[in-house]
Structure 1
Amino acid sequence: MSFNQMISSWQKLSTKIVGALLGMLALALTAIACTLFLSWQLEGSSAAINETGRLRMQTYRLTLLVGSESRSGVLPQVLLVDEMLAKIGRGDPQRPLFLPPSAAIKTEFERIVQAWRRELRPAALGVASAAQARAFEQEAQGFAGQVDQLVRLIERDSEQRTFWLRGSQLILVGMAIIGTVSMIYLMFMLIIEPVTRLRLGMQRMKERDFSVRLAVDSNDEFGQLASGFNQMADRLQALYGNLEEGVRSKTATLEYRNRELALLYESAAFLQRPQPLEAICGGFMERIVAYFEADGSTVRVLDAERGNLHMVVHTGLSEELVASEHCLKVGDCLCGTAVQEKVAKVHDMRRIDRAHELKCHREGFATVSVFQIHAHEQHLGFFNLHFRHARVFSARELALLETLGQLLGIALENLRLAAREREMAVSEERNLVAQGLHDSIAQSLNFLNLQVQMLDDSVRKARYDQVQDIVPALQAGIKESYDDVRELLLNFRSRLMEDDLIGSLRAALDKFRRQTGIDAELLADVDGAPFPREQQLQLLFIVQEALSNIRKHAQASHVEVRLADDQDFTLTVSDNGVGFDAAAVLEKGESHVGLHIMRERAQRIGASFDVHASPGRGTTIELHLAREQRRAA
């Protein structure tokens, strides 16, 4: 392990705690070991005191044995004393028994051993008379005094060691107290205080105080936690600041997009309304001017054949400027050039016209923008936005204005298509009217013309009997022509009764019955989706044309109109009249105008048209509209 790794290891919190605990354990074990050693020594000293006391007693007993008449017990007693001295000198660790390791005690014990071996033991074994016994008794008293001195030395040593034992116990108690306080302080410094700082920091962080930072006082785990907390706080503070800025930016973007969508929605909804060109362009520019806070605006439509740009509406421009630029040529001025290039332009008038030669610049406009109006890759014109201050458009604004130009272009194109559709509808209806007039009035007038020629010829030749025959024919022809004209006028003026096809058909049949006296009935099984008004009108006109043909040609007494409307639609008009050769009529093509008119009206709504007829068996016309072709109202 390298030196840096060792330092890093010692800086760890776990290492500090384990080291402190091991240190406290080592001190406690040392104190306990000292106490146990002192206790062991005191036990050995106590046993030595007891043995020494016994030695004194055995000395007194030896004195008694020496002074007795029978000295047979002297030798065993001497041997016992030898054994006791050897045991005291040798000691017994298991008992324990040993003399304290004091120089004075060891010296005194050596004196006692020497005195016994040199003086007292030989004397005890050599006593032969009473006088020697009395001399031995005196020596034994001196020996006993030496033993007492040894006991006193051992007792003083034991007292000292007892003092040391109590001192070590007190030290052990003090170490326990100091160790506990030290461990509490250590735990407080190493764990509790860092945890408290971390908790307070987290509390402030919870209260969105992202400026809080923790002091990094060490490189241990809590130091690393504090450093990580500070890094987290830096990150959160940056993220929160960026989040607030991002929220403000997103809010501004969302508000802009909402305004943009509102402008697009309002413009699209407005342009869908049926209204004249001036109203469409005026309302359109009113919304754009309000959105972009422009000081002026114009809308010009392109006359591609003549290359002219006609001003339709304008705001914020002087009458002089309007009069002079009411009609521009493609390629003229800045606007005409933009049309020629078919691109949007934003002109800073202060840069391109410093001499104030352009009329827009003289009017006080600093920025003039040109945006194209187009639909389906067809260029229809452009609209201007004029600003008296410098105005720069962002990419989103340019895209928005381009989209608005497309919306206006589609509205103008729809306006033109609607006008053309109306023109074609009028033309087709006039064609049908012409065919109807040709089928009825023209033929009647041709008949009347022949009768008038015959009348003129008869009058010039004075054939008055022929005149009497021709005049009633003329009257009948005129009446028939009048009836045809009246019927055509009534049919042309026919209207749906509040989009009620069944009610309108009943009214047409009632009128037919009143005018012709022919029995007519309507059988309707209607369960399908309602038709648009245009299709309902065409169906009504077909039935009216069929009834007109029946009145003129069928000589019928009963007519039946049947509607079967489920998913497919079928309309049949049947009569029990004289009928005709359907194959022969179909070969004539368009010569039979009534059938041709009904077939054209059926084709307008996408229906098939068939005629079923034979001489003497009546006629049936059938119109069928498949579910794929019908349109719901």
Structure 2
Amino acid sequence: MNSYRLSALLGRLETGDELGLVRNAATQQIGRIDGTLALLRQGDPQRPLFLPPNTKIRNSFSTITRHWQDGLRPMSRAILAQEVADPDAIRTFQKEADQFVAQVNTLVKLIEQDSELRTFWLRGSQLALLGLALVTTISIIFLLFSLIIEPVTRLYEGMSRMREAQFEVRLDVDSDDEFGQLAQGFNQMGDRLQDLYGNLEALVKVKTQALEEQNRELALLYDCSAFLQRPQPAEELCEGFLHRISEYFKADGGSVRIIDAQRGNVHMLVHHGVSDELVESEHCLKVGDCLCGEAVEKRIAVVHDMRRIDQAHEKQCYREGFVTVSVFHIFAHGQHVGFFNLHFRQPKVFNPHEKELLETLGQQLGIAIENMRLATREREMAISEERNLVAQGLHDSIAQGLNFLNLQVQMLEQSLKQGEIGDVAEIVPQLRAGVQESYEDVRELLHNFRSKLAEGSLTGSLETTIDKFRRQTGIEVDLISDGEGAPFPREQQLQLLFIVQEALSNVRKHAMATKVEIGLQDHQDFSLSIHDNGRGFDAATLSAKSEEHVGIHIMRERAARIGAELDVRSSVGLGTTVQLTLARAQRRAA
């Protein structure tokens, strides 16, 4: 088509019509033919467009290219270069163009033949692949049926028969693959089920006995744990413990002994089922004496068969008819507290599980005894600390007042001896004022020591204390409360209340104030402030004499007991502020 179009354009040059436009169109047509040949030679991957890799096609394309490059193209360029077209040259070009078109037609036929051949082979390959797919599918179905479906079917049939209690059914194991292993496992399961079914009654009986034994052990552990958690004296604690384990193990006698590590003695605390003679002879043993003393040194559980011990007739427990004597230790947090004995008149053998149970019970008893001791020490410490605070309160208030009265009495005695009646008249009012102040201090201390909290209410107790302070002194007091944090335990609440009482007492005695503001901020952090508008004092003097100052030392000790920080700020003429801060890390849950 491009060749014929070029021939038509060159033919129009003979007429002489619009020569410029015809020449431009012919030139563009030559470029299109060049571009088409170049595109066929290089190929276009995007379309895609390539010449088939065939020798005839390549040779035909090369002939066409040479014919164009060496023949038609130079002839067309020469005709276009002439000012007046030569008709003979144009007719020669047209003849050559006809031959060129014939060559192109031959190339196209070769390409079509090649495409037909490739299409034939492609369809043949598709048919072959389709046939192969059908054969493969049929083969896979056959293999699946023979390798999977059939074994699964046999296994399902075997399970169905097994479900109907036909425990004698077995599967043939004809392979070593997964289905063979599954069949083998099925046969083993059948053997096991057949064996279990045959011995089911005996197994149920054994399991029932084991469960009953475990339930008895759990009941003993629970009963002992609940009993040992009760607050009670050591004798009642050990007596109840010994009664429970003796009843559980059916012991004919027993005892609980406590170790005195400082003196190296072992004291019998409680006992039952043994004679008074045995109790008298063994109520206090040295570590290392007799069988029990030896067990203390080794710190291991020991079960003695008295029939196999040399010179057993010398032992009092053997003479009383006890055949088996066991020793199990009492530990608390790694500390050896003591041990307990179980005596049997018939031979008794403890299995490992029973020994482990008795050792666990011994640890529970040891922890209970240690907790009782710690509680006793804590009460002693609390009493000691409170006595110390009482002594400090007496020293800081009444003792100083009595010391002042003593000095005044000495001065009164001296004035009476010298007959100075005027001095006596001055001293007597001071004595009366000192006695009255000491009386008020005693009443205030008694009130503070008897102070109690309303149930779970620090604010209510503070309001009660403030109302009494207003009635006694006539001083205006404002309570500003902000926030509702987590409740304090009663110990911390009491210490906070005592600190407020002590601060108000100092205001009454020394501040000469007309108004007091108490601020309470109770969020995650707790803050308590007592501020008065009194005369104040020099803070440097307070720091130098803090140990002697009335009430300050007591307040600091009470704050330290609950983990709080106490700060006292004051200036002469500007009043005093007592600030207590309790961080969230130091707050304890109620």
1:132-151 alignment, distance < 5 Å: none
* Corresponding residue SS for 1:495: coil
- Residue 588 of structure 1 deviates from its aligned partner by 2.7
Is 1:290 equivalent to 2:236 in the alignment?
Answer: no
* Corresponding residue SS for 2:300: coil
Per-residue CA deviations over 1:391-414 (Å, capped at 9, x if unaligned) read 111112111211211111111111
Structure-2 separation of matches of 1:381 and 1:557: 65
* Corresponding residue SS for 1:391: coil
Is 1:405 equivalent to 2:362 in the alignment?
Answer: yes
Q: Counterpart of 1:457?
A: 414
* Corresponding residue SS for 2:349: coil
Q: TM-score, normalised by structure 1?
A: 0.63
Q: Counterpart of 1:477?
A: 434
CA gap of 1:457–1:229, structure 2 versus 1, over 3 A, is closer
- Residue 245 of structure 1 deviates from its aligned partner by 6.0
Structure-2 separation of matches of 1:585 and 1:538: 23
Letter in 1 for 2:251: A
Structure-1 separation of matches of 2:189 and 2:422: 126
CA gap of 1:200–1:421, structure 2 versus 1, over 3 A, is closer
Structure-2 separation of matches of 1:316 and 1:453: 73
Letter in 2 for 1:631: R
Structure-2 separation of matches of 1:563 and 1:533: 17
Q: Counterpart of 1:419?
A: 376
Per-residue CA deviations over 1:546-579 (Å, capped at 9, x if unaligned) read 1111111111111122211111111111111111
1:42-53 alignment, distance < 5 Å: none
CA gap of 1:608–1:245, structure 2 versus 1, over 3 A, is farther
Q: How many residues align?
A: 426
Mean CA deviation greater in 380-389 or 244-253? 244-253
Structure 2 unaligned segments of length 5 or more: list them.
Answer: 1-154, 173-182
CA gap of 1:256–1:449, structure 2 versus 1, over 3 A, is same
* Corresponding residue SS for 2:314: coil
Is 1:356 equivalent to 2:313 in the alignment?
Answer: yes
Q: Counterpart of 1:163?
A: none
Per-residue CA deviations over 1:587-609 (Å, capped at 9, x if unaligned) read 33422251111111111111111
Structure-2 separation of matches of 1:267 and 1:230: 49
CA gap of 1:444–1:200, structure 2 versus 1, over 3 A, is closer
Per-residue CA deviations over 1:255-300 (Å, capped at 9, x if unaligned) read 4333333322332222222221112112222222222222212111
Is 1:619 equivalent to 2:576 in the alignment?
Answer: yes
Is 1:533 equivalent to 2:478 in the alignment?
Answer: no
Q: Counterpart of 2:297?
A: 340
CA gap of 1:202–1:277, structure 2 versus 1, over 3 A, is closer
2:547 to 560, 566, 590: 590
Identical residues among aligned pairs (%)? 68
Structure-2 separation of matches of 1:318 and 1:232: 60
Letter in 2 for 1:449: N
Alignment check: 8 A CA contact 2:396 2:548 kept: no
* Corresponding residue SS for 1:382: strand
Per-residue CA deviations over 1:40-97 (Å, capped at 9, x if unaligned) read xxxxxxxxxxxxxxxxxxxxxxxxxxxxxxxxxxxxxxxxxxxxxxxxxxxxxxxxxx
Q: Which is higher, the Rg of structure 1 or of structure 2? A: 1
* Corresponding residue SS for 1:585: helix
* Corresponding residue SS for 2:268: strand
Q: Counterpart of 1:552?
A: 509
Q: Counterpart of 2:140?
A: none
Mean CA deviation greater in 585-594 or 300-309? 585-594
Alignment check: 8 A CA contact 1:568 1:624 kept: yes
Structure-2 separation of matches of 1:325 and 1:496: 51
Structure 1 unaligned segments of length 5 or more: list them.
Answer: 1-197, 217-225
Is 1:274 equivalent to 2:247 in the alignment?
Answer: no
* Corresponding residue SS for 1:257: helix
CA gap of 1:610–1:297, structure 2 versus 1, over 3 A, is same
Q: Counterpart of 1:509?
A: 466
- Residue 460 of structure 1 deviates from its aligned partner by 0.9
Per-residue CA deviations over 1:448-506 (Å, capped at 9, x if unaligned) read 11011101101111112211111111111111111111111111111112232111111
Q: Counterpart of 1:12?
A: none
* Corresponding residue SS for 2:466: helix
Is 1:307 equivalent to 2:264 in the alignment?
Answer: yes
Per-residue CA deviations over 1:156-206 (Å, capped at 9, x if unaligned) read xxxxxxxxxxxxxxxxxxxxxxxxxxxxxxxxxxxxxxxxxx999988754
- Residue 239 of structure 1 deviates from its aligned partner by 4.6
1:172-187 alignment, distance < 5 Å: none
* Corresponding residue SS for 2:585: coil
Alignment check: 8 A CA contact 1:611 1:620 kept: yes
Q: TM-score, normalised by structure 2?
A: 0.67
- Residue 422 of structure 1 deviates from its aligned partner by 1.3
Is 1:322 equivalent to 2:276 in the alignment?
Answer: no
CA gap of 1:615–1:251, structure 2 versus 1, over 3 A, is farther
Q: Counterpart of 1:369?
A: 326
Q: Counterpart of 1:331?
A: 288
Q: Counterpart of 1:568?
A: 525
Per-residue CA deviations over 1:107-135 (Å, capped at 9, x if unaligned) read xxxxxxxxxxxxxxxxxxxxxxxxxxxxx
Structure-1 separation of matches of 2:395 and 2:385: 15
Alignment check: 8 A CA contact 2:534 2:574 kept: yes
Structure-1 separation of matches of 2:223 and 2:284: 30
RMSD over equivalenced CA pairs, Å: 2.8
Structure-1 separation of matches of 2:426 and 2:380: 48
CA gap of 1:593–1:329, structure 2 versus 1, over 3 A, is farther
CA gap of 1:231–1:443, structure 2 versus 1, over 3 A, is closer
CA gap of 1:209–1:302, structure 2 versus 1, over 3 A, is same
2:450 to 475, 484, 493: 493
Alignment check: 8 A CA contact 2:479 2:519 kept: yes
Structure-2 separation of matches of 1:580 and 1:231: 96
Per-residue CA deviations over 1:302-349 (Å, capped at 9, x if unaligned) read 111112222211122222222222222211111111112222111111
- Residue 435 of structure 1 deviates from its aligned partner by 1.0
* Corresponding residue SS for 1:591: coil
Structure-2 separation of matches of 1:488 and 1:514: 17
Letter in 1 for 2:257: R
Structure-2 separation of matches of 1:589 and 1:245: 83
Choose between structure 1 and 2 for higher RCO, CA contacts under 8 A separated by at least 6 residues: 1
Alignment check: 8 A CA contact 1:374 1:406 kept: yes
Is 1:524 equivalent to 2:469 in the alignment?
Answer: no
- Residue 526 of structure 1 deviates from its aligned partner by 3.8
